[in-house]
Amino acid sequence: MYVLTLYIAKEVLKGSLVALLLLLTLFNLFTFSDEIKDISAGYGLKQIIYYIALTSPGVLYELVPASALLGSLFILGAMGNNRELIAMRAAGLSVFGIIRAVMVAGVVLVFLSLLIGEFVAPVTQRMAQMVRVVAQNQQIQMNTKYGLWLREGKRFINVRQVLDDGHLADVSIYEIDPLQHLLKMQHADQALFIGDQQWRLEHIQESDISTQQMQARSLDSALWQSSIAPNLLKIVAVTPNNLSLYDLAGYVSYLKQNHQESHTFELAFWGRIVNPLVTLIMLLLSAPFVIGVKRGVSVGERMMIGIVIGMSFNIIDKIVGHLGLIYNLNPPLIALMPSLIVLTLAVVAVMRLQE
């Protein structure tokens, strides 16, 4: 039985990886067609290809559950049509033995996706974001996990947080002279955009620096003239896609400590935890559609089944997620609910195979 289990696991794994490669290619073609519309002098074909290459790990991580479903449907379907499953069951391999072999492949896929999702995708997502934005706007110098640096003439601006309304929090402004010496430093708790390239800084700590002396003072508010617009800052703000699970947990804690809205990042955090479970559920769900369906069903029909299941799950997941954000519902429950519903259906379908 060990040999049969290993054989099924290897074939399902190969089929899932092929499906993953095909889906990734398809999604990258769609991304390329979208990005080519924004081509400009600074953002050319080279930057677009580089951007797509850097976003691929993140897309790949998101596609693993759908690829697992399609790959397992294709491989198990082919085994069913070739009477391999019948021979295996005649040799003593039970339905649960087949499902166990499929789950072994799922564990490998989950392990690979976790490596990519936690250690590769967050880094490349930030790099891709910067490649795109820097090519289109030379003001941005560097984006970090918890903020970004911008340059405007002789001033360097560090923004630690971009709020949902476009206002800024924890802003530091450094002004230098032509010899690169620091002349002035400002730190504001908040910066509110009031229009006409003007911001109002609030709760300011200001220091004037020279070779003779340093003067410090506090101000309640002051106007800041800047060409940096809120929409530019929101483009390069911290997003769930460019944070690992560990960083998401830290960022949620940071937002709560500063009494900021954290619901979006909490939902992303729990969604990242649930993602491996979704892959295993998709594999579990594929078994009844192969073992319980009559032999002779074409590859196209099996692929259509997988596409319908995958799209339905994705639509339900998005709807539930948006409802959770709108009504401020419990993030763990919202992240788990679609998966638990599909898991229940899969378990019922598997149990019916034994009847």
The answer to whether 95 and 353 have CB atoms below 8 angstroms apart is yes
Place of tokens 């072994």: 104
Q: Mention every residue, 6+ apart, whose C-beta is less than 8 A from residue 120.
A: 57
55-80: pLDDT as tens digits:
999 999 999 999 999 999 889 888 88
Quote the domain boundaries for residue 171: 147-235
CA dihedral 118, 69, 304, 271 (to 10 degrees): -40
Instruction: For residue 157, report the phi and psi dihedrals to the nearest 5 degrees.
Output: -120, 130
Q: Are residues 118 and 223 in the same domain?
A: no
Within a domain: residue 142? Answer: no
DSSP codes joined into one string, 118-180 = IIIHHHHHHHHHHHHHHHH-TTEEEEETTEEEEEETTEEEEEEEE-TTS-EEEEEEEEE-TTS
Where a domain ends, among 235, 266, 299?
A: 235
Residue 258 scores a pLDDT above 70: no
Percent of the chain with pLDDT over 70: 88
Tell me: do 246 and 220 sit in the same domain: no
Q: Which whole number is the average pLDDT over 151-155?
A: 82
* Alpha carbon separation from 187 to 174, 190, 192, 251, 335 (Å, rounded): 9, 9, 14, 21, 38
First-to-last CA distance in the chain?
23
302 and 230 in one domain?
no
Does 264 lie in the same domain as 230? no
Say if 31 falls within a structural domain: yes
- Tens of pLDDT along 80-94? 888 888 888 888 888
Asked whether residue 321 carries a pLDDT value surpassing 80, the answer given is: yes
Same domain, 126 and 158: no
Instruction: State the total domains in the chain.
Output: 2
Do 131 and 157 lie in one domain? The reply is no
Give the pLDDT confidence score for residue 255 in this predicted structure: 73
Indicate if 160 and 173 belong to the same structural domain.
yes
**pTM of the entire predicted model:** 0.75
pLDDT for res 53: 96
* Domain shared by 14 and 96, yes or no: yes
Of 235, 260, 290, the one marking the end of a domain is: 235
Length of the chain: 355
